[in-house]
């Protein structure tokens, strides 16, 4: 990321981290209030946003990012694969 | 065969011309220069078709001869030595993805022919008329949306005029997709991604299902999106403003929705100008670069100027009653609306997962961004904006452009085709994420490959339809019978239609049928026109009956002069008195 904070959240203050995390929690809360579907893309993003600042170790960061990508990929792919099979006439 | 020779000569001239212009106005950044090469090629093609059409010499031999002369002069000047030898192309996964994409696109280009309703109703009838008559001063067909800007149609014309056949018409969209991919690579590179990651960003964007499919379905939203991404890449690269204006000129000429996305791009330009840059400034091109901008703006504005003169409204038929059909109206209100934003944002939320339908040309009820851009891109963007000011700025401006389009676009089942520039920033973020978090690199490549292969057949072109088309002799390949326009044994027909009449399919893939557009006021006038113009058959079709269209036809049938070729058929034949 071109020499800025380079994803190194260790330099952030605790207050900044908490504020960032609360933003993610708020996003999830608002989403669940208006559309109570816990398996949802904004919820996945919010959870990722909330968890990302809470640890500074690269393995922790990578785990959060991979989990976020995994959740969103699963959400997107489950319908996509069915559509792909349907238009290819491969569904029984 | 002669047409093929003219096509090769003309393309050689345009390729070398674009290369020479790229050398002349190089920015010193190879990815940006690659994108500029595609832009210049499209500009030269557009200018050539527009000029030949305006001068009534839109013929293969004229364009071929001009291209051949230009190619000869440029080769003598050494322009052919300015191309990058193919063996210097990097050996990275993204290159293989792009090669697989090229193979897919070429298969589609060969085996598909235009079939979408909008494309056959108002984009391509004018291309057919231009090619048949050798000029752009022709009847544009019965659908008034034909008066919209026709930048993509200029490039469509280039790919059909030489062979007088539409077998390669999809190449026009592919050229714009190449520009979009190159622009994404340039944007990624400017954001600090390594060359292999920047190439992966380009591959992820070019394999966004909506981009891939639209590019070969002869529709212009992917082309506009590619040009918005190009503008963003040029702004981030802080190149000469004339080059940004040139992109804007071409973009506006393709579709006014380019301007919908402009607010974010303008803010980005102002923001980066103010912020200064650690990067060395681009070399300053000569003043001739303003001539390039002027040419592009001329190419882009010609349609608006024509409409302003003819109808007093540069955006005609938008904002008029021309597209009003009883209770239903299209594009009646022009301008921003908070209601549009609210509805469109809500629908974006509902469609972003692409659950309701498979990918298709018009993106009905879906976003069509694909898993790579959506899943990897959103998480990548989330991570990137937390770690980089530059990313925050650019992402904010893309979001502003997205919001701007959603505020201006009418809410319907297809509006997400107007925001296809947005997956570009997601593609760059996805590649940046995969570069930073190594375990994600292979999954991103695999998901991109799955999207590339899995969307070969689409919701509107499923396997059966595709294979049926592929089995046809390419010379007669047409989807007419599949979409309700059966073939008839007449070489000259009348067309009485209105909106969504799919008139392009009447010409045949080789434009061998003469089509005469009729706009009768009465049943007697319709019969009289057919007799006078020697039209044995009439094609009558519209989506919305207005101005007594159906009643007029019924009176012709009742008079015994017109006979319908079967129940529900759009064809009528003229019976003798």
Six-digit token string for A64: 């959060």
pLDDT band for position B86 (50/70/90)? low
Asked if residues B58 and B134 have their Cβ atoms less than 8 Å apart, the reply is yes
Please give, rounded to a whole number of angstroms, the shortest distance from the CA of A29 to a CA of chain B.
16
Interface contact B365, partner A, CB < 8 A: no
- For B551-560, the pLDDT digits (tens) are 999 999 999 9
User: Which among A43, A87, A90 is the top mutation candidate for probing chain B, defined by the most B β-carbons within 10 Å of its own β-carbon?
Assistant: A87
* Of residues B15, B151, B130, B145, the one with CA closest to residue B79: B15
Higher pLDDT, B213 or B287: B213
- For B421-469, the pLDDT digits (tens) are 999 999 999 999 999 999 999 999 999 999 999 999 999 999 999 999 9
Percentage of chain B modeled with pLDDT above 90: 83
Low-confidence stretches of chain A (pLDDT < 70) are 1-13
Q: Which chain B residue lies closest to A72 (C-alpha atoms)? A: B375
Q: How far apart are the C-alpha atoms of B200 and B97, rounded to whole Å?
A: 8
Asked if residues B433 and A70 have their Cβ atoms less than 8 Å apart, the reply is no
Q: Is the pLDDT of residue B88 over 70?
A: no
Higher pLDDT, B322 or B126: B126
**Contact across the interface for B359 and A41, Cβ inside 8 Å:** no
Higher pLDDT, B80 or B280: B80
pLDDT band for position B165 (50/70/90)? very high
Of B169-173, B226-230, B458-462, where does mean pLDDT reach its minimum? B458-462
Instruction: Give the model's pLDDT for residue A1.
Output: 41
Six-digit token string for B346: 């809500």
Instruction: Give the model's pLDDT for residue B279.
Output: 60
Containing B514, the helix (H) or strand (E) segment is: strand B514-517
Average pLDDT over residues B72-90: 79
Out of A42, A65, A79, closest to residue B437 by CB: A65
User: Which among A4, A39, A69 is the top mutation candidate for probing chain B, defined by the most B β-carbons within 10 Å of its own β-carbon?
Assistant: A69
Instruction: Give the model's pLDDT for residue B290.
Output: 95
What does the mean pLDDT of chain B come to?
A: 93
**Contact across the interface for A73 and B455, Cβ inside 8 Å:** no
Residue A92 vs residues B66, B458, B459, B468, B542: alpha-carbon distances, Å? 56, 18, 17, 21, 37
């Amino acid at each position: 990321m071109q020499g800025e904070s380079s994803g190194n959240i260790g330099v952030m203050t605790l207050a900044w981290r908490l504020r960032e995390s609360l933003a993610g929690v708020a996003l999830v809360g608002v989403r669940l209030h208006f559309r109570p579907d816990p398996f949802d893309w904004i919820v996945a993003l919010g959870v990722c946003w909330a968890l990302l600042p809470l640890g500074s170790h690269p393995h922790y960061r990578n785990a959060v990012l991979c989990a976020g990508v995994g959740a969103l990929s699963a959400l997107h792919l489950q319908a996509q694969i069915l559509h792909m099979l349907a238009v290819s006439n491969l569904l029984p | 065969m002669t047409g093929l020779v003219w096509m090769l000569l003309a393309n050689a001239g345009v390729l070398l011309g674009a290369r020479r212009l790229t050398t002349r106005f190089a920015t010193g950044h190879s990815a940006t220069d690659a994108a500029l090469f595609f832009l210049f090629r499209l500009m030269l093609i557009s200018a050539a078709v527009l000029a030949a059409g305006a001068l009534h010499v839109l013929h293969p031999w004229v364009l071929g001869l001009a291209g051949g002369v230009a190619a000869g002069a440029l080769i003598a000047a050494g322009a052919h030595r300015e191309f990058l030898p193919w063996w210097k192309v990097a050996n990275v996964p993204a290159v293989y993805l792009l090669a697989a994409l090229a193979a897919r696109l070429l298969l589609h280009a060969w085996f598909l022919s235009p079939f979408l309703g909008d494309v056959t109703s108002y984009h391509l009838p004018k291309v057919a008329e231009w090619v048949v008559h050798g000029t752009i001063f022709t009847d544009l067909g019965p659908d008034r949306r034909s008066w919209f800007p026709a930048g993509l149609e200029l490039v469509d014309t280039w790919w059909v005029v030489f062979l007088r056949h539409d077998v390669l018409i999809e190449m026009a969209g592919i050229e714009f997709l190449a520009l979009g991919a190159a622009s994404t690579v340039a944007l990624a590179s400017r954001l600090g991604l390594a060359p292999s990651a920047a190439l992966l960003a380009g591959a992820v964007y070019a394999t966004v299902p909506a981009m891939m499919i639209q590019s070969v379905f002869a529709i212009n939203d992917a082309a506009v999106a590619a040009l918005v991404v190009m503008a963003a890449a040029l702004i981030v690269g802080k190149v000469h403003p004339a080059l940004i204006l040139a992109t804007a000129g071409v973009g506006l000429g393709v579709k006014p929705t380019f301007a919908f996305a402009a607010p974010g791009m303008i803010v980005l330009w102002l923001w980066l100008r103010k912020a200064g840059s650690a990067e060395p400034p681009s070399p300053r091109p000569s003043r001739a670069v303003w001539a390039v901008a002027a040419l592009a703006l001329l190419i882009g504005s010609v349609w608006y100027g024509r409409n302003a003169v003819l109808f007093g409204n540069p955006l005609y038929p938008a904002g008029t009653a021309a597209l009003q059909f009883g209770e239903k109206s299209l594009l009646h209100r022009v301008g921003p609306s908070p209601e549009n934003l609210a509805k469109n944002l809500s629908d974006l939320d509902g469609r972003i997962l692409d659950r309701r339908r498979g990918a298709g040309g018009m993106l009905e009820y879906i976003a069509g961004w694909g898993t790579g851009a959506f899943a990897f891109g959103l998480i990548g963007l989330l991570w990137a904006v937390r770690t980089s000011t530059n990313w925050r700025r650019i992402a904010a401006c893309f979001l502003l452009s997205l919001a701007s389009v959603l505020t201006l676009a009418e809410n319907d089942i297809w509006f997400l085709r107007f925001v296809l520039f947005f997956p570009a920033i997601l593609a760059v973020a996805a590649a940046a994420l995969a570069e930073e978090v190594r375990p994600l690199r292979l999954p991103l490549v695999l998901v991109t490959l799955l999207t590339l292969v899995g969307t070969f057949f689409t919701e509107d072109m499923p396997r059966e339809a595709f294979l049926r088309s592929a089995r046809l002799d390419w010379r007669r390949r047409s989807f007419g019978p599949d979409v309700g326009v059966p073939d008839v044994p007449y070489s000259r027909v009348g067309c009485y239609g209105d909106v969504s009449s799919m008139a392009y399919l009447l010409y045949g893939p080789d434009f061998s049928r003469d089509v005469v557009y009729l706009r009768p006021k009465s049943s007697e006038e319709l019969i009289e026109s057919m007799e006078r113009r020697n039209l044995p058959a009439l094609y009558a079709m519209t989506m919305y009956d207005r101005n007594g269209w159906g009643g007029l036809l019924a009176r012709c049938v009742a008079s015994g002069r017109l006979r319908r070729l079967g129940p529900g058929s759009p064809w009528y034949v003229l019976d003798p008195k």
